[in-house]
């Protein structure tokens, strides 16, 4: 019998349902544990001991919300703080969630570099383009459980966050397109875009994994259509039978506003998104005097 994921949204979450402020006792604990020799932003994966009850309670509720409930949490920090203090608080919160990955550095500033991801193999995060719905990381050998973003400077125009629940998508596919079940779970090629990684055709051939990995204990959705298409074009091979129809169906599902949670990040907002069952996107943006600057981190749950 097919396992139906239990992570579905019954209705689109309201903004207030996943938004909270950082408790003062948690903020003070993070700042008190910020030392030159153990800086949260440089050494986030240090052993945490003697955590106060209030911080433990915050940590458990945060992880539960990310793992078992909406899958997205927005924490509003004090926007009047200096950038450095916002980064420290954000790093401390991220460290409470799990172990940070340093593939791009523990914290990666997301700004527009004036680049075009359609002309060179670069992360879309280095452009001002709409990213398209995706999960972070196209690499077969690494996949973050949670993606964190801190807003230091919002764009005056555009840059809204968009989130869709892939568990709902999976249920929809099983109900309406059961004939696609095999291709949904078949490994497919993805382009290699990690900086410093070898980007040969052989590496692309080895970088293959399914759109969905689902059983009673696991639900993982990994998607970005552009890098799937790019891989098949570089390899000069045709899509497997049914894959293009499946991708078109997925994109149509993502394009339906009834399925999309949309919100705007403002200065001081720290957003954490489950990268296993949620798919995210952003709208195209235009920079103002202060360029739009977000700080990304990748987290694996302990």
Q: Within a domain: residue 13?
A: no
CA-CA distance, 260 to 254, in Å (whole number)? 7
β-strands 278-282, 269-274 pairing? unpaired
The count of domains in the chain is: 1
On whether residue 267 sits in a domain, the answer given is yes
Residue 56 above 80 pLDDT?
yes
CB 280 within 8 A of CB 160: no
Please tell me the predicted confidence (pLDDT) of residue 277: 97
Nearest to 272 by CA among 120, 130, 70: 70
pLDDT bracket for residue 46 (50, 70, 90): confident
Find the mean pLDDT for residues 235-247. Answer: 97
pLDDT tens for 161-200 read 999 999 999 999 999 999 999 999 999 999 998 766 677 9
Please give the pLDDT value at position 25. Answer: 97
pLDDT score recorded for residue 49: 82
Residue 1 lies in a domain: no
Domain-located, residue 4: no
Give residue-wise pLDDT tens across range 28-44.
Answer: 999 998 887 679 999 99
Q: Which domain holds residue 67?
A: 18-302
At residue 286 the predicted structure's pLDDT band, cuts being 50, 70 and 90, is confident
Whether 249 has a pLDDT exceeding 70, the answer reads yes
Read off the pTM.
Answer: 0.93
Average pLDDT of the segment spanning 53-61? 97
pLDDT for 52 equals 95
In a domain, 10, yes or no: no
Q: Is position 5 within any domain? A: no
Q: Residue 187: helix, strand or coil by DSSP? A: coil
In a domain, 22, yes or no: yes
CATH number for the domain including 186? 3.60.130.10
Distance from C-alpha of 286 to C-alpha of 230, rounded to nearest angstrom: 26
Q: What's the pLDDT score for residue 206? A: 95
Does residue 7 form part of some domain? no
Residue in 97, 95, 74, 79 with CA at minimum distance from that of residue 20 = 74
């Amino acid at each position: 019998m097919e396992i139906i994921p239990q992570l579905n949204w019954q209705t689109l979450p309201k903004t207030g349902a996943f938004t909270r402020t950082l408790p003062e006792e948690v903020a003070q604990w993070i700042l008190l544990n910020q030392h030159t020799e153990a800086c949260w932003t440089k050494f986030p994966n240090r052993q945490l001991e003697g955590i106060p009850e209030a911080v433990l309670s915050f940590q458990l509720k945060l992880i539960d919300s990310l793992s078992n409930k909406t899958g997205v949490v927005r924490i509003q920090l004090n926007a009047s703080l200096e950038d450095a203090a916002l980064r420290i608080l954000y790093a401390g919160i991220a460290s409470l969630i799990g172990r940070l990955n340093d593939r791009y550095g523990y914290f990666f500033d997301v700004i527009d570099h004036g680049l075009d991801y359609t002309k060179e193999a670069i992360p879309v995060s280095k452009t001002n383009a709409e990213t398209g719905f995706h999960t972070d990381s196209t690499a077969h050998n690494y996949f973050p459980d949670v993606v964190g973003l801190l807003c230091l400077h919002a764009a005056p125009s555009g840059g809204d966050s968009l989130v869709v629940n892939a568990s709902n998508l999976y249920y929809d596919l099983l109900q309406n397109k059961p004939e696609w079940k095999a291709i949904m779970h078949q490994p497919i090629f993805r382009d290699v875009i990690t900086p410093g990684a070898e980007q040969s055709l052989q590496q692309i051939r080895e970088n293959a994994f399914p759109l969905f990995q689902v059983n009673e204990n696991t639900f993982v959705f990994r998607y970005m259509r552009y890098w799937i298409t790019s891989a098949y074009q570089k390899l000069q091979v045709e899509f497997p039978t049914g894959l293009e129809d499946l991708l078109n169906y997925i994109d149509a599902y993502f394009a339906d506003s009834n399925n999309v949670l949309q919100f705007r990040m403002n200065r001081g907002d720290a957003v954490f998104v489950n990268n296993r069952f949620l798919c995210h996107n952003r709208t195209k943006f235009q920079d103002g005097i202060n360029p739009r600057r977000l700080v990304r981190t990748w987290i694996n749950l302990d």
